[in-house]
């Protein structure tokens, strides 16, 4: 019997990467691939503890490898985590490829590598050394990918420094006339928040670009109609999104926290159509006490019902959640119009008819999930690529409003409440986001461009 093609899928070890890469893994399994998914031991344990989609009848085989950090070390130190991966993960991954096919029941010989671009060039080098096909997955926007692929030009135009990618001045630039004006201070590597490691991080990203020039496919979790200008700059990058991230057949997959499904969905069922403000800031964003309090008061001040995701670690320094005095009794008690959860089944929440708008940090998965479900945004970015994503939401697609800080850097309760009211009543914005929802759905249906691109990629990866 001929063994099926076998893909080794490697996400960057963060929530916003494990979720979309797991969807890529399942989409490959749908197309006849055996799939081995490589999580770090730390993240594997989190997904197991959250009960989020590992018992799927063996469609995807999970393998856990060390990330090189000590137990108890903070995995939110992204630059450190990134730098350790090559040393600790690369040898284990190479071993996995070389040893594959030796034991029965493990999917047979690994025939290709599908790696998150952010994992780094080492994964693609392992693929080259072991002679298997390789593809890079870009789980963020094509526009942000274009800033990376086009970094040579940014250096030549003296927009960024050649050594560490830092901003040279504050003159805005445009990668193409149909793309937004961007600021070099808002390039993802300039807003990761670790200035000491800036040069190392930039070098690593640049090496990643060189490596993907040699891989067989680059796929991106976006769609043609969302970013035509960015895709036309780099036609080899195939849009395959928006992927249905975070769930499969109505069940949560790949989450680090246990989604409070019952609490969210039955509460939403009891609300009128298009009445609820959904508030969620992804897996990393942290608030200082003052901003946290202001957000709570802003939600109270608006007259709308809200579902707010308050992760256990959402306050800086691991502080206890510090709600304004009386807030929980006034707003979130029995019969109150606010509902708090620690983690939601976000795709299902955004698809619920009672959800009216999304107060979001503009992480790319959240951005695609909002668009795919036709929900307008209050766009409130914190770091990395989120500033560019905000520009797309507010200036290019015009499906959301920007959250704007006052001179002390705080987004005030009056501003939050005012913007939410503005969003709820904006029929034009609703119409535009509905049109994007339609385009997103068309692209992922059979016959749509993203669907066709995924088929092309999968067929190409099957070749010997």
Q: How many CA atoms lie within 13 A of 29 on its CB side?
A: 20
- Which residue intervals of 131-197 are DSSP H helices? 142-149, 151-156
If the CB atoms of residues 285 and 302 are measured against ligand UDP, the closer one turns out to be: 285
If the CB atoms of residues 156 and 269 are measured against ligand UDP, the closer one turns out to be: 269
CA distance 159 to 204: 19
What minimum distance in Å lies between the beta carbon of 347 and ligand UDP?
Answer: 6
| CB burial string 135-159: b at 16+ within 10 A, e below | bbbbbbbbbbbbbbbbbeebbeeeb
Question: How do 305-309 and 133-138 pair as beta strands?
Answer: unpaired
If the CB atoms of residues 15 and 394 are measured against ligand UDP, the closer one turns out to be: 15
If the CB atoms of residues 159 and 292 are measured against ligand UDP, the closer one turns out to be: 292
What minimum distance in Å lies between the beta carbon of 290 and ligand UDP?
Answer: 21
| CA-to-CA separations, 220 to 70, 238, 366, 450, in angstroms, rounded | 32, 6, 15, 9
What minimum distance in Å lies between the beta carbon of 131 and ligand UDP?
Answer: 33
If the CB atoms of residues 174 and 316 are measured against ligand UDP, the closer one turns out to be: 316
What minimum distance in Å lies between the beta carbon of 170 and ligand UDP?
Answer: 25
CA angle 334/340/344 to nearest 5° reads: 130
Q: Which two tokens stand for residue 393?
A: 């939401």
What minimum distance in Å lies between the beta carbon of 346 and ligand UDP?
Answer: 3
What minimum distance in Å lies between the beta carbon of 122 and ligand UDP?
Answer: 22
CA distance 334 to 162: 57
What minimum distance in Å lies between the beta carbon of 94 and ligand UDP?
Answer: 28
If the CB atoms of residues 12 and 151 are measured against ligand UDP, the closer one turns out to be: 12
* First CA to last CA distance, the chain: 16
User: Nearest 10 degrees: CA dihedral of 38, 283, 403, 374?
Assistant: 60
CA distance 394 to 29: 36
Q: What 3-state class would DSSP assign to 112?
A: strand
If the CB atoms of residues 154 and 243 are measured against ligand UDP, the closer one turns out to be: 243
C-alpha 432 chain-centroid distance:
23
What minimum distance in Å lies between the beta carbon of 311 and ligand UDP?
Answer: 7
CA distance 5 to 135: 14
Question: DSSP assignment of 168-187, as one string?
Answer: SSS--B-SSTTS--B-GGGS
What minimum distance in Å lies between the beta carbon of 140 and ligand UDP?
Answer: 8
If the CB atoms of residues 107 and 227 are measured against ligand UDP, the closer one turns out to be: 227
When computed from its CA atoms, the radius of gyration of the chain, rounded to whole angstroms, is: 22
CA distance 181 to 277: 29
Residues at the site binding ligand UDP, with contacts judged by CB under 6 A: 15-16, 19, 245-246, 255, 280, 282-284, 309, 343-344, 346-347, 363-366, 369
If the CB atoms of residues 15 and 450 are measured against ligand UDP, the closer one turns out to be: 15
């Amino acid at each position: 019997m001929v063994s099926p093609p076998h893909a080794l899928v490697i996400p960057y070890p963060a929530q916003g990467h494990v979720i979309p890469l797991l969807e890529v893994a399942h989409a490959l399994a749908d197309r006849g691939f055996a799939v081995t998914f490589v999580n770090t031991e730390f993240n594997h344990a989190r997904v197991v503890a959250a009960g989020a989609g590992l018992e799927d009848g063996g469609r995807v085989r999970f393998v856990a490898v060390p990330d090189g950090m000590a137990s108890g070390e903070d995995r939110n130190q992204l630059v450190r985590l990134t730098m350790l991966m090559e040393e600790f993960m690369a040898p284990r991954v190479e071993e996995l490829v070389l040893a594959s096919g030796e034991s029965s029941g493990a999917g047979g010989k690994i025939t290709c590598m599908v790696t998150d671009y952010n994992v780094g060039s080492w994964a693609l080098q392992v693929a080259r050394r072991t002679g298997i096909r390789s593809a890079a997955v870009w789980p963020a926007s094509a526009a942000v990918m274009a800033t990376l692929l086009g970094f040579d030009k940014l250096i030549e135009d003296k927009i960024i420094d050649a050594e560490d990618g830092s901003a040279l001045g504050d003159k805005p630039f445009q990668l193409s006339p149909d793309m937004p004006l961007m600021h070099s201070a808002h390039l993802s590597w300039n807003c990761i928040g670790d200035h000491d490691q800036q040069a190392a991080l930039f070098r690593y990203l640049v090496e990643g670009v060189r490596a993907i020039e040699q891989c067989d496919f680059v796929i991106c979790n976006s769609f043609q109609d969302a970013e035509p200008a960015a895709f036309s700059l780099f036609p080899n990058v195939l849009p395959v999104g928006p992927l249905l991230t975070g769930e499969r057949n109505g069940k949560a997959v790949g989450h680090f926290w246990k989604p409070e499904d019952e609490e969210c969905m039955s509460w939403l069922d009891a609300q009128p159509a298009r009445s609820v403000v959904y508030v969620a800031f992804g897996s990393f964003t942290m608030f200082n006490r003052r901003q946290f309090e202001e957000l709570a008061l802003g939600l109270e001040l608006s007259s709308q019902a809200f579902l707010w995701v308050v992760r256990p670690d959402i306050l800086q320094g691991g502080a206890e959640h510090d709600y304004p005095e009386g807030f929980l009794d006034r707003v979130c008690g029995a019969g109150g119009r606010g509902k708090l959860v620690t983690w939601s089944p976000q795709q299902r929440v955004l698809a619920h008819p009672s959800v009216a708008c999304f107060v979001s940090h503009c992480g790319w998965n959240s951005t695609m999930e909002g668009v795919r479900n036709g929900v307008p945004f209050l766009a409130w970015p914190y770091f990395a690529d989120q500033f560019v994503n905000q520009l797309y939401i507010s200036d290019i697609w015009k499906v959301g409003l920007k959250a704007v800080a006052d001179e002390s850097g705080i987004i005030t309760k009056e501003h939050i409440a005012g913007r939410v009211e503005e969003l709820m009543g904006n029929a034009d914005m609703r119409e535009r986001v509905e049109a994007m929802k339609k385009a997103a759905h068309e692209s992922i249906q059979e016959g749509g461009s993203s669907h066709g691109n995924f088929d092309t990629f999968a067929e190409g990866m099957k070749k010997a």
